[in-house]
């Protein structure tokens, strides 16, 4: 009896130890599985830049958060069912090419190899970068100057004598606005609702009354054939064209030359940040942008070369138009094919706008009151493009057009 209990007790202890060892082995195996298949923390999205909305197929989108992988191929970023191409990666930031999908409320989420689950979901919108407005493109129809008023109505000069009105509620050439004989090369909305225009072939400054109608001459016989115009903050008009000068026209109709540009064909005029900017061709070879500081309305500083397009892009290109963003970026409309709009940054660096998306020939540009740049595109046989009004989503605001705010 005394020997029985110790032996039985010993067997029980051995059995218990065996079962315990199996249990420990199973736990160890489970721990290895978790570490290898889902041991990394799940990724987290904190923000997306640009916030809320981006452009489909244009540029990059930056996703900021945590628990990403610094190894490029270990990250997968989805916009809905579309997987975006990751171009750079760190543990806190992923940069992806914007996918070519246009949709509202796309579910954006991130998967990282080694993490068990997807990230949280952020909803995002991808919009079209460029829209065509107005229903233009009829055979023989061509577009020239455009203007935008304070209510985002668009005025378009077409087919030798007609000015169309495109309203923001329809975005179609739904009504005629006025008539103007001879090709109108420059047009700006001015104080009191008058639409001011110049024709490139004579020395007169014209305007159309508020509500539309026929043109009438506001000022006659300026020094040069006028090609473009722009307003300063107090309602003075700077004009220039095929001649030798910049001429200021005062609200009472009087005028005087305020800067000399000998042998220069100026196609674009823009007042920005205390300067008058002009763009065109000098001496038949140099396509460039210059500026003159406004010391007072009738006293401009010396001519300053801002950007030499010929040196930058070659001798075969022409400047057609000029405008500015609120942040100081300068946009030059050219005859380049492809990529006809060129950006010049305040630091002097330059690049094309939306490479591979736009086609020539960009004749005139006018920024709206928010993020849209409106461009009249003339038909190009070489580029196989038709006449269009283009609305370009710039994702930022333009610089003030003073005439429409007075």
Q: What is the pLDDT of residues 116-137, one digit of tens each?
A: 999 999 999 999 999 988 888 7
In 80-129, DSSP assigns E strands to 82-84, 86-89, 93-97, 103-112, 122-127
Class of domain 44-127: mainly beta
Distance of CA 259 to the CA centre of its chain: 32
- pLDDT confidence of 10, banded at 50, 70, 90? very low
Does residue 146 carry a pLDDT above 90? Answer: yes
How confident is the prediction for the chain on average, in pLDDT?
A: 88
What would the mean pLDDT of 345-350 be, rounded to a whole number? 94
Cβ neighbours of residue 157 under 8 Å, at least 6 residues apart?
Answer: 143, 144, 145, 146, 163, 180, 183, 184, 187, 197
User: Are the C-beta atoms of 341 and 308 separated by less than 8 Å?
Assistant: no
Q: What is the pLDDT of residues 290-340, one digit of tens each?
A: 999 999 999 999 999 999 999 998 888 999 999 999 999 999 999 998 899
Q: How far apart are CA 55 and CA 53, in angstroms?
A: 7
- pLDDT confidence of 4, banded at 50, 70, 90? very low
Lowest mean pLDDT among 26-30, 109-113, 170-174, 248-252: 26-30
DSSP-derived secondary structure for 367-386? E-SSSEEEEEE--BTTTTB-
- Percent pLDDT > 70 in the chain is 89
What is the pLDDT, as a whole number, of residue 33? 31
What is the pLDDT, as a whole number, of residue 174? 66
Fold of 130-405: Neuraminidase (2.120.10)
Q: How far apart are CA 222 and CA 206, in angstroms?
A: 12
Looking at the chain, the domain(s) classified CATH 2.120.10.30 span 130-405
What is the pLDDT, as a whole number, of residue 39? 78
Model pTM greater than 0.75?
yes
Looking at the chain, the domain(s) classified CATH 2.60.40.10 span 44-127
Q: Which residue from 315, 332, 335 is spatially nearest to 379, judged by alpha carbons?
A: 335
Q: What is the pLDDT of residues 373-402, one digit of tens each?
A: 999 988 776 667 788 899 999 999 999 999
Six-digit token string for 122: 């952020």
Does residue 159 carry a pLDDT above 90? Answer: no
What would the mean pLDDT of 27-41 be, rounded to a whole number? 46
What is the pLDDT, as a whole number, of residue 36? 42
Q: What is the pLDDT of residues 63-112, one digit of tens each?
A: 999 999 999 999 999 999 999 999 999 999 999 999 999 999 999 999 99
What is the pLDDT, as a whole number, of residue 387? 86
- pLDDT confidence of 25, banded at 50, 70, 90? very low
Q: How far apart are CA 362 and CA 341, in angstroms?
A: 7
Q: How far apart are CA 306 and CA 289, in angstroms?
A: 5
Cβ neighbours of residue 282 under 8 Å, at least 6 residues apart?
Answer: 261, 263, 264, 265, 288
What is the pLDDT, as a whole number, of residue 34? 35
What would the mean pLDDT of 177-201 be, rounded to a whole number? 94
In 273-318, DSSP assigns E strands to 275-282, 286-296, 299-300, 304-308
Q: How far apart are CA 99 and CA 117, in angstroms?
A: 23
Q: How far apart are CA 108 and CA 9, in angstroms?
A: 63
What is the pLDDT, as a whole number, of residue 383? 63
Q: How far apart are CA 322 and CA 157, in angstroms?
A: 18
Element (H, E) at 46: strand 44-49
């Amino acid at each position: 009896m005394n020997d029985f209990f110790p032996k039985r007790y010993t067997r029980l202890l051995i059995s218990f130890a065996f079962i315990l060892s199996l249990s420990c082995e199973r736990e160890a195996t489970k721990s290895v599985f978790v570490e290898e298949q889902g041991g990394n923390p799940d990724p987290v999205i904190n923000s997306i830049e640009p916030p809320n909305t981006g452009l489909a197929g244009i540029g990059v989108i930056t996703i900021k958060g945590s628990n990403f992988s610094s190894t490029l191929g270990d990250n997968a970023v989805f916009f809905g069912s579309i997987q975006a191409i990751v171009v750079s990666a760190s543990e806190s930031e992923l940069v992806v090419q914007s996918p070519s999908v246009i949709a509202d409320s796309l579910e954006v989420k991130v998967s990282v190899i080694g993490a068990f689950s997807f990230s949280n979901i952020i909803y995002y919108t991808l919009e079209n970068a460029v829209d065509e407005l107005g229903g233009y493109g009829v055979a023989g129809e061509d577009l020239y100057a455009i203007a935008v008023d304070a209510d985002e109505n668009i005025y378009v000069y077409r087919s030798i004598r007609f000015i169309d009105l495109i309203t923001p509620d329809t975005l179609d050439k739904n009504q005629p606005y006025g008539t103007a004989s001879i090709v109108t090369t420059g047009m700006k909305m001015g104080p009191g609702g008058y639409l001011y225009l110049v024709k490139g072939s004579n020395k007169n400054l014209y305007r159309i009354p508020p509500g539309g109608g026929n043109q009438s001459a506001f000022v006659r016989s300026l020094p040069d054939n006028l090609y473009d115009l722009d307003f300063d903050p107090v309602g003075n008009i700077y004009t220039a064209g095929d001649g030798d000068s910049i001429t200021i026209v005062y609200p009472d109709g009087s005028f005087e030359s305020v800067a000399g540009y000998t042998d220069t064909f100026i196609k674009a005029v823009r007042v920005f940040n205390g300067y008058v900017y002009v763009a065109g061709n000098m001496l038949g070879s140099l396509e460039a942008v210059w500026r003159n500081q406004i010391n007072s309305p009738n006293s401009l500083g010396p001519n300053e070369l801002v950007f030499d397009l010929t040196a930058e892009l070659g001798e075969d290109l022409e400047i057609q138009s000029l405008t500015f963003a609120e942040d100081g970026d300068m946009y030059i409309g050219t005859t380049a094919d492809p990529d006809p709009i060129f950006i010049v940054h305040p630091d002097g660096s330059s690049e094309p706008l939306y490479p591979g998306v736009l086609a020539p020939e960009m004749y005139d540009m006018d920024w709206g009151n928010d993020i849209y740049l409106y461009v009249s595109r003339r038909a190009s046989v070489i580029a196989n493009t038709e006449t269009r009004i283009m609305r370009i989503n710039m994702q930022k605001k333009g610089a003030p057009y003073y005439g429409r705010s007075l």
